[in-house]
Amino acid sequence: MKTLLQDHERLEARLKEIPQEPGVYFMKDETDQILYIGKSKSLRNRVRSYFREAAHHHTPRIATMVRSVADIEIIVTDTEAEALALEANLIKQHQPHFNVLLKDDKKYPYLCITWGEDYPRIFITRKRRKDAKSRYYGPYVDTGLLRRTLQISKRIFPLRQRRQPLFKDRPCLNYDIGQCPGVCQALITPEDYHKIVQRVAMVFQGRSHELIDMLTAKMMKASEEMDFEKAAIIRDQIKGLETLGAHQKVALPDDTISRDAIALSADDEHACVQLFQIRAGRLVGRLGFVAETDSGTPGEILQRVLEEHYRLVDPVEIPAEILVQHPLPDSEILAEYLSVQKTRKVTVEIPQRQMKAELLEMVERNAQYELARTQRFADRNNQAMEDLAELADLPGAPKRIEGYDISHIQGSDAVASQVVFVDGLPAKQHYRTYKIKNPTVTSGHSDDFASMAEVIRRRFRRYAEDPKKQRVGNPDWPDLVMIDGGKGQLSAVVAELEDMNLLGELRVVSLAKRREEIFLPGEKQPLDTEADQPGVMLLRRLRDEAHRFAVSFHRKKRTARMRRSRLEDIPGLGHHRRKQLLANFRSIDYIREASPKQLATVDGIGPQLAQQIYEYFHPSTAS
């Protein structure tokens, strides 16, 4: 199927079919994949504008999208607010590529609560996982305040402290001191534990004041019922929450209204957005977002940030008032949509009063600081890539750099890692691990040269098998390959690339560990570099990441082998029964501590086999 820009008659016919009513539109490509989902109070006018406006009126992002559109679908709604609500749900469901305005900025952490589990975990993470049942709060700019808030919350409320239990048949010390309700032994029901976690969630929703009022009522009721122990526990929780409130850095007048204030600061490339959450007169959260400047006007960027942010929050977190720095294209629609979600009136306004204007100026000032920080980081990164291009004699700054390392213990469990930096930053979605298959690499006999050559051959053999396969412009083809090691490792890789006729097209360097020396193919002496040179420091970061990733995979492989090997020595214990044991007891240590009666509760493990397993770990008890 041709794109609509290539088929003018079909484009005109489709545009005439679209009604002038509010609704949602889908832009699809030739493979029927959704490229973009949008809303409008007049579908025909909005969709027509993509194809009628001159090309230079579009941002690069939208221009690229329009060139790929092969079909358009619509859903008509009764009102503009309904269109906004429907658009939010559809974007959340389909996550189209061109709807992603905000970059995945790893600088800012989130707080995650795994509501899908019987006993939810609460932890800080920098990566949002695609889990519909987990809830993410943030991203938080002030990491220190986030950690302190979580730490104090864990002291106030009894929460699970470990992901895995320390003991199989009894709780640990955290239960004895009241820090954990005995989750590992199910001493609290999932329903009661969810109620505790819901109170913690209120802290991160900016509802501490509401939580204190609720706990105060419970404390008074417990006191009236002469349950003084329970009242004392609630009293301590209230004091902890009041202590938590004292950590907030900004106190504002007019504490009867909850409000959010949003502003941005932009340069030619980035727009740094700050959103301050004010609850009961206190700053309870400072969220940060980064967008591309060419993705729209300041008002359009703020509009999309607010839509994406409030699409992910609970209705109780939506404030009564939103202060914005620039006029929003659809502020009335957004306010109506949020009012429906909250079931209370929500206003969106550009502040005129002095107090609100000063608050917004403070938010804008913070956005300017974040932009300056982003610019400094980008400048250092560009400087490092340009310096590395000069060191490695590259035609331009390397966009994709790959680093390789080998990890083993005297040849056992030999593995390799491939890490990728794109534009000088880790791109973990492209990381890869290899299990070394060379039969000569065994326990007691290692060969890093042969192992590295094997990995390079496996990585690039498809290019050798297909000489016409695209190199230039292919995002999978690296501009530079870094080998962790000295001249020996580099020579082995060069020989392998020569054998595949790829050496002339692929630039390779090695970085030796001891003296941080950089070697180029065919050169006997290392490059003349300084330890603190930007390009060298970039290569060191790449090398350290490759080493970390390789060691991590090696440890995982070695641990799995040790677990298997110890159980494999037990007569009558096959592969399926070993899996059953490990699934039930989770570790070799738990299996060793289990009694024959406990072992016999596992499916497929009868009393006789249970006794054999017990005697294997306790030979002194064997008759």
SS (H, E, C) 344-361: CCCEEECCCCHHHHHHHH
pLDDT surpasses 60 at 19:
yes
CB atoms within 10 A of CB 497: 22
How high is the pLDDT of residue 432?
A: 93
Distance separating alpha carbons of residues 246 and 239, to the nearest angstrom: 11
Q: Tokens in use for 46?
A: 């909005």
Q: What is the mean pLDDT of the chain?
A: 83
Give the pLDDT mean for 387-398: 89
pLDDT surpasses 90 at 279:
no
β-pairing verdict for 432-435 and 412-422: antiparallel
Q: Any bridge partners for residue 435, and if so which? A: 415
Helices (H), 260-353: 298-311, 331-342
pLDDT surpasses 60 at 245:
no
pLDDT band at 150 (very low <50, low <70, confident <90, very high): confident
pLDDT surpasses 80 at 54:
no
Query: Domains in the chain, please, with CATH?
Result: 8-99 (3.40.1440.10), 259-374 (3.30.420), 392-557 (3.30.420.340), 569-621 (1.10.150.20)
pLDDT per residue over 79-121, tens digit each?
887 888 788 778 777 778 777 665 544 567 888 888 888 888 8
Distance separating alpha carbons of residues 388 and 398, to the nearest angstrom: 8
Give the pLDDT mean for 570-589: 79
Out of 88-102, 183-197, 279-293, 388-402, least confident range? 88-102
Instruction: Identify which of 67-71, 134-138, 174-178 has the greatest average pLDDT.
Output: 67-71
SS3 state at 26: strand
Nearest to 455 by CA among 420, 511, 497, 487: 497
Distance separating alpha carbons of residues 22 and 330, to the nearest angstrom: 13
Q: What is the DSSP letter of 235?
A: H
Q: Tokens in use for 217?
A: 């009522």
Give the pLDDT mean for 268-280: 85
pLDDT band at 249 (very low <50, low <70, confident <90, very high): very low
Q: 518 with 484: CB under 8 angstroms?
A: no
Nearest to 509 by CA among 530, 494, 528: 494
Give the pLDDT mean for 296-316: 86
Q: What is the DSSP letter of 347?
A: E
Q: 519 with 512: CB under 8 angstroms?
A: yes
pLDDT surpasses 80 at 417:
yes
How high is the pLDDT of residue 243?
A: 64
